[in-house]
């Protein structure tokens, strides 16, 4: 019966299908309302330390009931009172009756609401930073392994000069590193709302402490420290500025554009059959076409990244439409947007990490594509070698132009392989370089400093950033639900 009821209601795919347990817990009701109780407890504890008539017995009773939430009572209270915070004040008071008279003393709803949101987002940023660092680690290993393997470069998705498999991976890695630094900075700069009262003036607390401004400031400082923050907002309205939400969600959404870029490139490479995401032994690519190897993980990432990037508009509009000290049209929007942003980013990083640990490279296909284009790209090197042997530069240029046109015709009009090198070998004019051809068109001669760039970038920029997270890395790739 319970199962039937569960199936008859909409459930978010973010939590039911994709997200990790740890990020789902961060945004769970259990964590939210337990944090409310912790905040009420540290507020009372700080007020007691500063001289208000609150007893150790009351504090102990509150601490003993942080997890003892009567969910049915809370739901009934909210239904009757139409106020979620007061519903939980009364529910907490019923569990800790001796403390009931001092729970929420001097506070407004935003004391628990806003401060909990800030705690939750700070913890969410910590999870995402760790997973970003782990993705950077996996991609660094891949880039280092393939730093010297030539690969056809593309601009405008048209063949361009060669790069290497590892160097291209560093383009993805660099974006991940930027996201990591951005999120670290955002997390570090995240301030606590603290105890500010109904419109941010701290008037209620000034009344509690009989006009003692010093004690009100000390209360704000104590509660902030007890909540695990090093800094607090000096100025707030009823809420902390919603500008902060916009900054945080933009930093989180940056992960979306990075993973979308990575997975789009990988989908294109899979179509070229050069590199593909891991494919399970019994995985089915298509119900109708048994041979298909669809890049479903990458496609899922691109789909969810689109959702994540689209969430950035809501916090900006919410901030723009906060009237004076506060209006409640932020509430319903924030309940959805903040949680979905963090959950979606979490899913993207879990899936990307799974992909990165199992990417499959096909060197022979990569080499085949290079050889289809390299003879044209090598014409300048061929020209220089002929000139060194005594040939006339202009005459040689014309010879190479004619052979290039003829070889190009074979490829485009007849679907044949590029036979440019065979044409050069069959032309006596190029006899001086016939024995040098293999060396001249060796793909490794066309990758510039790509291997050195990869090593330098990983050693000097990537490793110092991810080292603090290494102790917390999972050894295995995340297990994906679907």
Residues annotated as catalytic are 156, 286
Read off the tokens for 177.
């590193």
CA 48 to chain centroid, in Å, comes to 42
Any residues with CB less than 8 A from the CB of 211 and at least 6 apart, and which? none
Q: How many residues does the chain have?
A: 482
Tell me how far apart the terminal alpha carbons of the chain are, to the nearest angstrom.
26
User: What does the buried/exposed string (b/e) look like for 40-53 if buried means 16 or more CB atoms within 10 Å of the residue's CB?
Assistant: bbbbbbbbbebebe
Please report the DSSP string for 19-46 in residue order. Answer: S-HHHHHHTSHHHHHHHHHHHHHHHHHH
Q: Residues 96, 97, 101, 102: what is their CA dihedral angle, to the nearest 10 degrees?
A: -20
Is residue 346 within 8 A of residue 127, CB to CB? The reply is: yes
Euclidean distance between CA atoms 481 and 346, whole angstroms = 13
Cβ neighbors of 278 (< 8 A, separation 6 or more) are: 297, 354, 355, 357, 358, 359, 360
436 Cβ partners below 8 Å, 6+ apart? 385
What element of type H or E holds 204?
A: helix 203-208
Beta strands of 216-274 (E only): which ranges? Answer: none
CA 152 from chain center: how many Å?
Answer: 28
CA dist 183 and 185 (Å) reads 5
């Amino acid at each position: 019966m319970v199962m039937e009821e569960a199936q008859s209601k909409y459930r978010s795919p973010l939590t039911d299908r994709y997200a990790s347990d740890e990020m789902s817990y961060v945004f769970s009701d259990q964590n939210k309302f337990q944090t409310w109780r912790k905040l009420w407890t540290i507020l009372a504890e700080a007020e007691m330390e500063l001289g208000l008539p609150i007893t150790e017995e009351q504090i102990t009773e509150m601490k003993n009931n942080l997890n003892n939430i009567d969910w049915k009572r809370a739901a009934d209270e909210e239904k009757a009172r139409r106020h979620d915070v007061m519903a939980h004040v009364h529910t907490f008071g019923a569990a800790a009756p001796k403390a009931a008279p001092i729970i929420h003393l001097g506070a407004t709803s935003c004391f628990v609401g806003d401060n909990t949101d800030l705690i939750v987002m700070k913890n969410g940023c910590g999870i995402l930073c760790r997973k970003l660092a782990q993705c950077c680690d996996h991609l660094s290993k891949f880039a280092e392994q393939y730093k010297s393997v030539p690969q056809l470069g593309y601009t405008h998705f048209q063949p361009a000069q060669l790069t290497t498999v590892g160097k291209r991976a560093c383009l993805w890695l660099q974006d991940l590193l930027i996201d990591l630094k951005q999120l670290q900075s955002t997390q570090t700069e995240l301030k606590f709302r603290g105890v500010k009262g109904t419109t941010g003036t701290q008037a209620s607390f000034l009344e509690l402490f009989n006009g003692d401004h010093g004690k009100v400031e000390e209360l704000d400082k104590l509660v902030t420290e007890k909540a695990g923050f090093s800094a607090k907002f000096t100025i707030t309205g009823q809420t902390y500025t919603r500008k902060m939400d916009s900054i945080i969600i933009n930093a989180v959404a940056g992960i979306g554009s990075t993973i979308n870029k990575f997975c789009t490139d990988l989908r294109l490479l899979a179509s070229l059959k050069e590199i593909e995401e891991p494919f399970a032994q019994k995985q089915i690519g298509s119900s109708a076409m048994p041979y298909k190897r669809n890049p479903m993980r990458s496609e899922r990432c691109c789909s969810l990244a689109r959702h994540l990037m689209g969430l950035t508009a809501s916090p900006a509009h919410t901030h723009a439409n906060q009237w004076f000290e506060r209006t409640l049209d932020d509430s319903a929007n924030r309940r959805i947007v903040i949680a979905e942003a963090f959950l979606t980013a979490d899913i993207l990083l879990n899936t990307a990490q799974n992909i990165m640990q199992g990417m499959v490279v096909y060197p022979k296909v990569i080499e085949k594509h290079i050889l289809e284009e390299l003879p044209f790209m090598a014409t300048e090197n061929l020209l220089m070698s002929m000139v060194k042997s005594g040939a006339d530069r202009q005459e040689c240029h014309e010879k190479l132009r004619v052979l290039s046109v003829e070889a190009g015709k074979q490829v485009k009009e007849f679907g044949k392989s590029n036979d440019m090198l065979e044409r050069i070998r069959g032309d006596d004019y190029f006899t001086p370089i016939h024995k040098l051809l293999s060396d001249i068109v060796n793909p490794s001669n066309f990758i510039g400093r790509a291997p050195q760039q990869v090593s330098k970038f990983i050693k000097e920029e990537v490793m110092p950033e991810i080292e603090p997270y290494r102790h917390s890395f999972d050894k295995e790739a995340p297990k994906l639900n679907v």
